[in-house]
Amino acid sequence: MNTLFDKIWDSHVVQRVDGGLEQLYIDRLYCHEVTSPQAFDGLRHRGIRCFRPERIICMPDHNIPTTGQESPILDPVSKKQVDTLSSNAAEFGLTHFGVMHKHNGIVHVVGPEKGLSLPGMTIVCGDSHTSTHGAVGAVAFGIGTSEVEMVLASQCVLQQKPKSMRITVEGPLGKGVTAKDIALYLMSEISTSGATGYFVEYSGSAVRALSMEGRLTLCNLSIEMGARGGFVAPDETTFNYMKGKEYAPKGEDWDKAVAQWRNLKSDEDAVFDKELFFDATLIEPMVTFGTNPGAGIPITGFIPQGYSAKSLSYMNFHEGERMIGKPVDYVFLGACTNGRIEDFRNFASIVKGRHKAPGVVAWLVPGSWAVRRQIEEEGLDRVLMEAGFEIRQPGCSACLAMNEDRVPPGKYCVSTSNRNFEGRQGPGSRTILASPLTAAAAAVTGVITDPRGLS
């Protein structure tokens, strides 16, 4: 009667301590440049080393520029953070995929694509969107800087076990509807706090039909519903995606691993703390109109009454307005939400034979160097360039204003990232979250456009 979450979590509990906390063993720790410096300083202060350095992977992603990575980083704060990660990795003997390294990229893109994140693992990083890795069938969640230090020192972390929730999405997805639209729809239905305190297992025929890229997008956005994390039970889609990955098991070890992974599923009679059911046929392409990811509506819909006047004022939108036809200044394709090869294929499918609208600034940023190489191998770069678009170098880019890719004050950006908070993409910027298909439609028309009319 156990859920998959119970099985993975309980098998990693080292000990239970007073106050309901559990010492959880961690299979993989990812470190980026933003949240790790103080954690390494803590080790130095205590005069200790990393307990299991082979289970720790470091890479910069938030602060790196997406052009001119061959040259030194100009921003002094960003340069210091990136350099500090490099020196910490060297000092403590950790694997480091630095700027321009062939494996560099956004940590939540690189981990799964290299087979560093595997089914049944516990995975942490000092970043809330660590939930992304749950798509491979892992328990993955973000932790704070002091907890990063715990894992560096002991390969364990003290946690209170979350409750379990299952979200079932049943039925076929309609034309132009992607995993991003599923996530935005779920948030519009249950709010950005609807899964607070839970770990979410996604199930149902619509979820099973998603590619691994789609599942990674869905799990990435779990945190925006308030969840501690989200995951999808591994299946043939997972195994096919993982097979041959650089750090995945090989040969006989692969066969043994898959045999074990096939058992990673919730029991038929498993009892969840909460269950929610949704009809996939009701989901349309979605866009946000407000300043939190739960403020989403179907692209054909109208801004509802009763939403925060402050948020609508910030966006310069009004109740009862349609989103279709609203002008767009910037388009951003990328982030740990939608920076994978499938996202670039989808974007290219819309812009092929068309051209970027005059006045629209478009940032197309692969989530990793591996994605960029695949874009070139598949000829998508030629399709995109013929349509007036440029492929940038990997990084978090315009997801957040921690690098040079910032949206100016008052400008509208249709973004495939995960957060549309005030100033998230730059002070005064206005963000409209959408799928790569919807972003592409906006990029070639210059206004919010239903992608179903262009495909």
Residue 256 burial (CB < 10 Å; 0-12/13-18/19+)?
exposed
Question: Model confidence over 141-182: pLDDT tens digits?
Answer: 999 999 999 999 999 999 999 999 999 999 999 999 999 999
Task: For 405-455, list the strands marked E by DSSP.
Answer: 412-415, 430-433
Task: Show the DSSP H helices in 362-417 as ranges.
Answer: 369-377, 380-386
Q: How far apart are CA 198 and CA 183, in angstroms?
A: 16
Q: Which two tokens stand for residue 197?
A: 């305190």
- Tens of pLDDT, residue by residue over 391-428, are 999 999 999 999 999 999 999 999 999 999 999 999 99
**Helix, strand, coil % (nearest 5) of the chain?**
40, 20, 45
Contact (CB, 8 A) for 121 and 25:
no
**Which residue ranges form the domains of the chain, and what is each CATH number?**
4-159 (3.30.499.10), 163-281 (3.40.1060.10), 287-453 (3.30.499.10)
Partnered with residue 413 across adjacent β-strands are 330, 431
21-25: strand order across its sheet = 13-16, 21-25, 156-160
In 150-281, where do the E strands start and end? 156-160, 163-170, 198-203, 229-232, 274-279
Residue 129: strand, helix, or coil: helix
pLDDT of residue 192: 96
Give the integer Cα–Cα distance in Å for 316 and 396. Answer: 27
- 358: buried, middle or exposed (CB in 10 Å: 19+, 13-18, 0-12)? exposed
Could you give the maximum distance between any two Cα atoms of the chain, in Å?
63
Q: How far apart are CA 290 and CA 284, in angstroms?
A: 18
Structure-derived torsion over alpha carbons of residues 9, 10, 14, 17, reported in degrees to the nearest 10? 100
**Phi first, then psi: what are they for 66, rounded to 5°?**
-110, 10
Ordered per-residue pLDDT tens for the chain, 455 residues: 899 999 999 999 999 998 889 999 999 999 999 999 999 999 999 999 999 999 999 999 999 999 999 999 999 999 999 999 999 999 999 999 999 999 999 999 999 999 999 999 999 999 999 999 999 999 999 999 999 999 999 999 999 999 999 999 999 999 999 999 999 999 999 999 999 999 999 999 999 999 999 999 999 999 999 999 999 999 999 999 999 999 999 999 999 999 999 999 999 999 999 999 999 999 999 999 999 999 999 999 999 999 999 999 999 999 999 999 999 999 999 999 999 999 999 999 999 999 999 999 999 999 999 999 999 999 999 999 999 999 999 999 999 999 999 999 999 999 999 999 999 999 999 999 999 999 999 999 999 999 999 97
Among 321, 290, 322, smallest CA distance to 431 is for: 290
**pLDDT at 381 (0 to 100):** 98
